[in-house]
Structure formats: structure tokens, C-alpha cells
Amino acid sequence: MKLLDTVRLNQDLPNEGLRAGAIGVIVEVYTTPDCAYEVEFVNDDGSTRAMRPLRQEQLDSA
């Protein structure tokens, strides 16, 4: 996975109001201390719904 890839969440994140299957875009890639991806999820109007760092195992390619 790389910057600006579209990804699909593969688990529910109830505290963020996100369900498995939500589509997001990688907006940052972290390599230390561990590999992680900052993913932005948006509403239908384009406003940010949630943005948070996620591990690779929490995501699938969309």
C-alpha cells in the first residue's frame, strides 16, 4: 500500500463511527516505530468523517 491508494476497512471501528467495508484513502505512510497508514474517510459531501492511523492488517485494497 502506498500514498493515495484507496483502501477498504476490514473491521468495525465503533468509536470512529466506521464499519467494515468503509472506503478511505491513504494520506500518510508511517514507517517508525511500526508500519501504519493514516487513512481519511469522507462523507458523501466530501467532508472528513474520520482520519486515523491504521495497521496494514486492518485494511484491504479497494
Residue 50 CA to residue 39 CA, distance in Å, equals 8
d(CA 56, CA 61): 10
Q: What percentage of the chain reaches a pLDDT higher than 70?
A: 100
The reported pLDDT for the residue numbered 20 is: 97
Question: Is a pLDDT exceeding 90 seen at residue 62?
Answer: no
pLDDT at 5: 98
Give the global pTM. Answer: 0.91
User: Could you tell me what percent of the chain has a pLDDT over 90?
Assistant: 90
Confidence of residue 7 (pLDDT cuts 50, 70, 90): very high
Please report, for the chain, the start and end positions of each structural domain, with discontinuous segments joined by +. 6-61
